[in-house]
Amino acid sequence: MPQSRQPLQSSALAAASLATLRRGDQLFETERRLNAVLNNASVSIFLMDDRQHCVYMNRAAEHLTGYTLAEVIARDCPLHDIVHHTYPDGRPFPLEECAIDRAFPQNNHERGEEVFVHADGHFYPVGFTASPIRDDSANIIGTIIEVRDISEEKAAAERQRLLLNELNHRVKNTLATVQSIAAQTFRGQTDPAARAVFDARMAALSTAHNVLVEDNWESASLRSVVTRALAPHLLAEIDVNRFRIDGPDARLHPKVAVTLSMALHELMTNAAKYGALSVPEGRVHVTWSVEPLPDGRQSLDMLWEEQGGPEVAPPTRKGFGSRLIERQLPLEFDGRAQIDYRGAGVVCRLQVPLTALGWMGQDVIEGQPAL
């Protein structure tokens, strides 16, 4: 036996050829290095033979499963029957149904997620990576499986899901509450027509948020924003040719989605009251293109065109809609917007550089470079 307190040897010797390493003390050195690596690794490592029996597991694997290597070897059965024998719902989990077993893999780095059973009986979610071990003739003689406890990731994802549900609920509820407060406050004191305008705007705002909910508040589909904003008229139309909506889909930053929704709502309301949607033969075309900008962002160029409506006269005073579209929208997004009250029909052109997706702190939380 080599002396037990021998120091780790230099890397030059570790890189020596196999022939040299056949000497016992150097084999010992190699094994000691491998053990040092394996037993200090925080990932669990299992070495399986061709019968799916575990022939080696490192210290992290013993800790993860609650079994020692000696116990597992003494059981003389596939590892599956020791750590993976039951589904979380209590049904038995036969080896034939096991994804890790099927991943007696042909390819390196087969990945997946499973739920294991600890020696004490509790279930825990794991992520695994399985790779084949080959003999000198390239026959597969076993599998090496790395396993990681992913309980914390699962719990974090679940917390995130609950928070998003709560956020969705709160936002919708707050909008409904505001609507109710307005109704109670102005009951009998406001022109019912003004109340109807207010309610429609609240509904438009609520709809804009619906589109955001669909993608976890990260972005919204441009096409969805357009069709949802126009839905109050779109859905009520018998004549399918009344609207022409044409343009490529794109992902919108939540702020763009909300303001654009409100802008389209105002255009639609105006068209229904005075423009093309106030007569049966009137038509509305909403068309757009999305072009790359030199700075890497995209730019939305949208055209709202009304045809076949009554003769248009420029409004005598600028209301909420034109203020929102012509003043706020360009200021908010560094874009351009113009409403042209042409006699034949209102034409509105919106040019909006699309804000890069993402939210404050996202790069920190997701470990990505800043946008």
Partner 1 sequence: MTLLNGRRVLLVEDESLVAMLAEDMLMDLGCEVVLAMRLDKALALARTGTFDAAVLDVNLGDTRSYPVADVLFERSLPFLFATGYGAKGLDAAYQGVPVLQKPYQQGPMEHLLHRLLTCEDLARKGAAPCLRPGCACKAPPQAMPPGLSGFQADSPA
Tell me how far, at minimum, the Cβ of 174 lies from partner 1, in Å: 11
Q: Return the residue matching tokens 């309980």.
A: 151
Tell me how far, at minimum, the Cβ of 263 lies from partner 1, in Å: 9
Contacting residues toward partner 1, per CB under 8 A: 255, 259, 262, 320, 323-324, 328-329, 331-332, 334, 355-356, 358-360, 371
- Comparison of 6 and 177: residue with beta carbon closer to partner 1: 177
Report CA 115 to chain centroid distance, whole Å: 23
Query: Residue 149: how many CB atoms within 10 A of its CB?
Result: 19
- Comparison of 46 and 333: residue with beta carbon closer to partner 1: 333
Strand order in the sheet with 44-49: 54-57, 44-49, 140-149, 123-134, 110-117
Tell me how far, at minimum, the Cβ of 359 lies from partner 1, in Å: 7
- Comparison of 200 and 245: residue with beta carbon closer to partner 1: 200
Tell me how far, at minimum, the Cβ of 297 lies from partner 1, in Å: 13
Distance CA 185, CA 263 (A): 26
Tell me how far, at minimum, the Cβ of 327 lies from partner 1, in Å: 8
- Comparison of 65 and 259: residue with beta carbon closer to partner 1: 259
- Comparison of 42 and 174: residue with beta carbon closer to partner 1: 174
Pick the closest to residue 277 from 245, 300, 312, 307 (CA basis). Answer: 307
Tell me how far, at minimum, the Cβ of 62 lies from partner 1, in Å: 47
The dihedral through the CA atoms of 5, 8, 13, 19 has a sign that is: positive
Tell me how far, at minimum, the Cβ of 352 lies from partner 1, in Å: 12
The single-letter code of the amino acid at 339 is I
